[in-house]
Amino acid sequence: MATLHLALGVPPSARDLRHCPTSCGDVNITYPFGIGTGCFRPGFELICNTTTKPPKLFFGNTTEILVQDADVRYVMASVVFNIATTPGLLGTYNRSWQAPGRVLSTYNDLGDTSLVIVGCGIDVYLFDDDTNTVQGYCRSECTNLALMEKKLSGLPCNGIGCCTIDLLGGVNAFRFTITQREELTRSVALGNSTIKAFLNYIDPYSFNTADLLSEKINASTIGATGSIFSVVITDQLDCSTAQLGLNKTDYACSDGSICLDQINLQRGYHCTCLAGETFDYGNPYLLHGCKQGIPIQFVATENG
C-alpha cells in the first residue's frame, strides 16, 4: 500500500548533514546511511576502513558496501565467508549473516540472489534465521583436480567443486551449516585450503580451481557481482503504523515522498520519490529531498 507523506516526522535536511562524510574510497554515502554522530538514521551506521587502499565501506562486520543507489532504494554489497578447515579432520561449520537492524533485504525487483559455496566433500544446509526451518540444500563433491580444471573451469556451479542455493523472497538474515564428508574428499589433496561462501546476484559465479585451492577470496578475486539489497525501515510494522500516534516522530519518509510497505517481509517499509505519472528523483529520506521530475512517457517500438 502506498501512502503520501503528510509532514509527520521531520527528517534531516541536506544542510543538517553538511558536516558528514559523503564518500569512502570509491563509494558515495547517502542518508539514511552515514558515518559519525548525527549523520545516519539509527540502524544505518557505516564504517570506513581506511587501512585498505582504496578505503572500504562496511555495514557491520561482514557486509562491504560496493555501490549505493542515488535514490537509496538499493545498495550493492559483498557478503563473503572464508572458512578455515583443518587438514585431515572433518568438521561442521556454522555461519550466519544478518543486516544490522535488519534494514537490508535480499528481495528486489531486479533479480535473484544465491548463496554460492566453493569447497570439496561438503553438504550445505540453509536455514531461516527466525523459524530454524531448512530453506535449501546443496552438495559439492570433487574429482581429479586436473579433470576439474579441464572440464569445469569457467562454468556455473553444478555440484562439482561448488554448489548454489537460491535465496527466495525477502531475506534479511540467514544461517547455514557446512558438514564435511570423508567419502567425498579423498580424490583431492586440499592442503590448507578454505571453504568459501558468498552471496551472488544475477550473473552466475564461474568455477575456477584456483578459488578452490586458495586460502582466501573476496568479491574482486572471484569476479562475483555482489548482491543487490533493498533498503528497509524496520522500526515500525508498516506505513500505517509508522504514521500514527507517537510513532510519527520517527517516520522516515520526507515531504512529497511515497511510503511503501515492504513486501515479502514480516515488517518494514521504504520511501520513494516515485509519484503518480511523473518520475521524481532525489532522496526521499531528506527534508525536501524529492525533486519534481518529468512525465513518464511510454514509447512503443516495433521490430522489423
- The three-class DSSP label of residue 100 is helix
Contact 206, 160 (CB under 8 A): no
Closest CA to 117 of 82, 87, 89: 82
* Distance in angstroms (rounded) separating the CA atoms of residues 273 and 157: 39
**In the predicted model, is pLDDT for residue 4 greater than 80?**
no
Q: What is the mean pLDDT of residues 232-240?
A: 91
Alpha-carbon radius of gyration of the chain: 22
Query: Could you give the percent of the chain with pLDDT greater than 70?
Result: 80
pTM of the model: 0.81
Contact 78, 222 (CB under 8 A): no
How do residues 157-185 score in pLDDT, each as one tens digit?
Answer: 999 999 999 987 778 889 999 999 876 55
Q: What is the mean pLDDT of residues 72-83?
A: 87
What is the DSSP pairing of strand 274-275 with strand 74-84?
unpaired
In sequence order, the 6+-apart residues with CB closer than 8 A to the CB of 280 are 256, 273, 274, 290, 291, 292, 293
**In the predicted model, is pLDDT for residue 66 greater than 50?**
yes
In sequence order, the 6+-apart residues with CB closer than 8 A to the CB of 86 are none
> In the prediction, which pLDDT does 245 show?
65
* Distance in angstroms (rounded) separating the CA atoms of residues 287 and 13: 5
CA atoms within 13 A on the CB side of 44: 23
Cell 511503501 belongs to 260
Q: How confident is the model at residue 278 (pLDDT cuts 50, 70, 90)?
A: low
Mean of all residue pLDDT scores within the chain: 82
Cis peptide leading into 54, omega within 30 of 0?
yes
Contact 74, 103 (CB under 8 A): no
**In the predicted model, is pLDDT for residue 266 greater than 90?**
no
> In the prediction, which pLDDT does 85 show?
84
| Domains of the chain by residue range | 2-10+236-295, 73-231
In sequence order, the 6+-apart residues with CB closer than 8 A to the CB of 228 are 74, 75, 76, 106, 108, 110, 111, 113, 201, 202
> In the prediction, which pLDDT does 225 show?
58
Residue 115: strand pairing partners: 165, 199
- Reported CATH class of domain 73-231: mainly beta
